[in-house]
Amino acid sequence: MTINESLQWAIGMLEQEGVENARGNAEHLLDHCLGMERTARFFLRYERALSAAEENEYRRLVTQRADRVPLQYLLGKAPFLNEDLVVDEGVLIPRPETEQVVEVAIRLLRQEGGVGDLVMFDIGTGSGAIAVSLAKELPAKVWASDVSADALKVAQANIRRLRVEGQVTLIHGDLFCPFHVLNLEGQVDLVISNPPYIPHGILGGLAPEVSQYEPWMALDGGEDGCDFYREIIPEAISFLKPDMGWLILELGDGLAIQVKDIIESQRKFAPPQIFPDLNGKARVIAAKRGQ
């Protein structure tokens, strides 16, 4: 088959299976099979025949995409801020909403203008998206935890990819547990997390790309979506620098008021600030520790 015929076949197949943006997906996978940057498609001769190996690989990937395997898992990478990060089925695919969380953190910490290296905890680091991006942008030492050993392998690959080995340390374990041995109580400038926050009951009803292929461990926030906020918020206090340290969390849809209440009920934080995402939804909450 020619490139053009293959592309038309792929678009038809993806449309039939209800994949959003069938053309874009078909083109991305074609670029991947041809080992080509997206911008190089301009020079492609659409009448050229694919080799047998190229055609087999393209058919395999398009069929998987038609089965709703997320595009990013098939490509093995996902864009995040200005980088491409490595991803596989062991990690949540980093989302544009999370870019917003990182941007808020950078802005608030730059305003503080502290001296020396900042100390940060990223709870549930997954692909390492938040940790590596912060390390790239700020003079920071980041400690990042996850309960998933598979996720930490991917995070390690991203640490190497962005060359932040000297700044980010991964620790395997539950929430703050692995941090207790570090003796950093009262010394942390930022506790940041995009915790699992999808209410358990609605997980199965999400798009098949999410519900069938992304790790539930990365998504399931318990009955009301707030299980992790209830654990992270009180535990963060003892680690944060008095009068300086920030707690910054990504918010699940419709959870802003509940999470704000959990923060306020601790009586240890200045009034929280809430920031919207690009769709206008309350997506980030930031609260500075008081005395």
Say how far apart CA 250 and CA 193 lie, in whole Å.
6
Binding stretches for ligand SAM (CB under 6 A): 92, 94, 98, 123-127, 129-130, 145-148, 151, 174-175, 194-196, 217-218
Neighbours of 275 (CB within 10 A): 17
CA distance 36 to 288: 46
Q: What residues between 202 and 261 interact with ligand GLN by CB under 6 A?
A: 210, 219, 250
**DSSP helix/strand/coil, 247:** strand
Nearer to ligand SAM, 117 or 174 (CB): 174
* Cα 225 from chain centre: 17
| Contacted by 259, from ligand SAM, ligand GLN, none: CB < 5 to 8 Å by type | none
* Rounded Cα–Cα distance for residues 207 and 187 (Å): 41
Q: Supply the DSSP symbol for 91.
A: S
Interaction partner, residue 145 (ligand SAM, ligand GLN, none; CB < 5-8 Å by kind): ligand SAM
Integer Cα distance of 51 and 12 in angstroms: 21
- The one of ligand SAM, ligand GLN, none whose footprint includes residue 210, by CB under 5 to 8 A per kind, is ligand GLN
Closest C-alpha to 220, from 205, 203, 206, 207: 203
Nearer to ligand GLN, 106 or 123 (CB): 123
**x/- map, 83-112, ligand GLN, by CB under 6 A:** ---------x--x-x---------------
Please say which residue, 59 or 230, places its beta carbon nearer to ligand SAM: 230
170 interacts with, out of ligand GLN, ligand SAM, none, CB within 5 to 8 A per kind: none
Question: Does residue 121 interact with ligand GLN by CB under 6 A?
Answer: no
Helix (H) or strand (E) holding 201: none
Residue 174: CB minimum distance to ligand GLN, A: 17
CA dihedral for 225, 124, 182, 267, sign (positive or negative): negative
Determine if 14 is a binding residue for ligand GLN (CB under 6 A).
Answer: no
Using rule CB under 6 A, residue 197 touches ligand GLN: yes
> How far apart (Å, rounded) are the C-alpha atoms in residues 62 and 68?
10
CB under 5 to 8 A by kind: which of ligand SAM, ligand GLN, none does 203 bind? Answer: none
Q: Is 262 in the site for ligand GLN (CB under 6 A)?
A: no
Residue listed under structure tokens 């503080």: 112
